Amino acid sequence: MKALKIFNVFYGAAALIWLTVSLFYEGFNPSVKINAVIIGGLFLLLGIDDWMDGRKKYAAYYFFLVVVSIIAVMV
């Protein structure tokens, strides 16, 4: 459980750095699908973490955001 929280912190920091660099540096231009997968993965990990802590309401919200990011990739 504690390992998942530590992994979430590192994954969140890496995702924040990835998206910031892709936003402001023109030479680094990943596709929209890769960015959506990174954000969806972050929401999925946060949802699993909240589900394991017993906060089902917040977990449902994060799982909804995962579905939204998947739909955004498919469109």
Q: Domain count of the chain?
A: 1
The tens digit of pLDDT for each residue in 1-32 reads 788 888 888 988 988 888 888 888 878 878 88
The pLDDT confidence band at residue 52, using thresholds 50, 70 and 90, is confident
Which residue reads 């917040």 in tokens? 58
Instruction: Give the domain range for residue 33.
Output: 2-74
Burial of 47 (0-12, 13-18, 19+ CB in 10 A): buried
Percent of the chain at pLDDT above 90?
4
Half-sphere exposure of 19 (CA within 13 A, CB side): 16
Q: Among candidates 31, 39, 30, which has minimal Cα distance to 65?
A: 39
